[in-house]
Amino acid sequence: MHKEPLYRKVNTRARGVHHRQGGDYRDRRNAKGGRDPELTRQSMHGTQQRGLDYTPLFRFLLSRVGQPWEAVHREAVARLDRPDPIFQLVARHEGERREYVRTGESSYFSGLYVDDAGLLRRVNPAIGPDTLFPSCRCCTHTFNGQPFGNAYDPERGM
């Protein structure tokens, strides 16, 4: 049975889509001071993939909180183009745990981790859209897909 992928392609040719393009390769290849032959043979496309939205993956992971991590990870990897985005939300080590993760300009998701029993858990289940404050008044800030319940407050913005 074929399941939908856990990512979607974003229209990167639309007006107003920022690609964060820069001269990472352009500036390095002819850099002054010792020309390293390895630098001149690198790809001009860079390492960052643009045009993919992993919101479906993040919602999938949140829907699987409390389930065995091995099964969740296996299904997620099978439905992704690469496994790296999983670890934007899921902490690999205890020191990487975060209560929430900012995935876009105004999109936040719960931080996740795998407990000692091998189950997927939220770092802080008490955090929700009513406990966070937007950082600006012009954007609609969301937490796990739900708009923040609090209004913008310049004293408390994130």
What lies within 8 Å, CB to CB, of 1 at 6+ separation is none
Residue pair 67/120 in contact by the 8 Å Cβ criterion? yes
* pLDDT above 70 (res 145): yes
**Pair type for strands 142-143 and 107-110:** parallel
pLDDT at 35: 56
pLDDT (tens digit per residue) in 76-110: 999 999 999 999 999 999 999 999 999 988 999 99
CA distances from 19 to 6, 13, 84 (A): 22, 10, 20
What is the overall mean pLDDT for the chain? 83
Between 69 and 31, the higher pLDDT residue: 69
* Confidence label for 128 from pLDDT (cuts 50, 70 and 90): very high
* pLDDT tops 80 at residue 119: yes
Q: Residue 57 corresponds to which tokens in the numbers above?
A: 């993956």
In whole angstroms, what is the distance from residue 120 CA to residue 90 CA? 8
Mean local confidence (pLDDT), 111-131: 96
For 9-62, the pLDDT digits (tens) are: 876 666 665 655 555 555 555 555 555 555 555 555 555 556 788 999 999 999
